[in-house]
Amino acid sequence: MTIQWFPGHMTKARRQIQEKLGLIDVVIELVDARLPLSSRNPMIDEILNGKPRMIVMNKSDLADPAMTKEWLDYFKAEGHAALEVNATTGQGTKEIPQQARELFKEKIERQIAKGIRPRPVRALIVGIPNVGKSTLINRLAGKNIAVTGDRPGVTKGQQWIKVGTEMELLDTPGILWPKFEDQNVGYRLAVTGAIKEEILNLEDIAFFAVKYLARYYWPHLKERYDLKGPQPQDFESPDEIVAIMEEIGRKRGCIVSGGRVDLAKASGIILRELRAGKTGRYTLESPF
Ligand code: G4P
């Protein structure tokens, strides 16, 4: 599905989340560990209106572990509870109910002081499409009740999923929109597949990715494609980057008549392998 947000969509998405906020105690804001800022919604603070929140960095299996640590520190320094998880395997997800209780601790203590038995913490997962909301809900639920995939229409008939004895989760996540007017944000989202290629040019997306990897993850690129040349030095000129894309294209048999490299085909391969984690673990933005 091509995700394209218009002001009307955004208003609707925002209203749907705000309607749910009254039902819950804690928000689980899911971001992609490979692009922790670009995969956030820039209006999130305003939308959540002070609701206690934890930031959960998903797909940490694909991200650069050292950078994930930096990002966790960054979010914590901002005053947020922050965790890294892999929703597919469940790694790190056990900490989510614990953190949710921690965020809700004062209310729980007040309830206990009043002699009321504390109820489970109610939580809602929010995040942009493809960040792994459904996968995480399924993982926390322990069985397949939530539909995987982006289904904005399935919000009716809200259900609660029990996560152990201490947390309850709304079965439908809140869908946030990414902000991709900033070109680099758009490219980062496109490199990871969070927005579809039709929005930006495929070769431009691959160029952005190769340029970034050549600069910050050169050994990954060199190893994956057995590149012969040295690391590029001039990142202002496109020539060296295009030459790398062509070398990759030749190695992968992307040749058209006359022996020219089919850059579109090579770009598709580069992005597919990158998204599948075959080019190594990488993070596309840094907190410093
Ligand atoms: P959404 O509800 O937020 O839209 O996302 P969803 O759970 O559908 O997940 C989107 C894709 O991301 C899924 O791949 C899912 O398997 C993958 N995914 C979710 N969490 C993780 C994680 O922690 N690590 C990794 N490596 N992948 C994760 P898919 O359905 O196969 O889609 P695609 O890969 O074909 O795009």
Question: What is the predicted pLDDT for the residue at 51?
Answer: 94
Residue 252's contacts (CB-CB under 8 Å, 6 or more residues apart) are 265, 266, 269
Provide mean pLDDT across the span 57-70.
Answer: 98
Q: What is the pTM of this model?
A: 0.92
Mutation probe of ligand 1 site: the residue of 2, 40, 130 with most atoms within 8 A of C-beta: 130
Q: How many angstroms does the Cα of residue 177 sit away from the middle of ligand 1?
A: 17
What is the CA(61)–ligand 1 centre distance, in A? 12
What share of the chain in percent tops pLDDT 70?
93
- Would you say residue 43 has pLDDT above 60? yes
Report CA(132)–ligand 1 centroid distance (Å).
5
Query: Whole-angstrom Cα distance, residue 155 to residue 12?
Result: 12
Asked whether 127 lines ligand 1 (CB < 6 A), one says: yes
Which residue has its alpha carbon closest to ligand 1 atom 27? 59
Distance CA 56, CA 85 (A): 7
CA dihedral defined by 203, 208, 214, 218, rounded to 10 degrees?
-90
For the Cβ of 135 lying below 6 angstroms from any atom of ligand 1, the answer is yes
Contact 173, 137 (CB under 8 A): yes
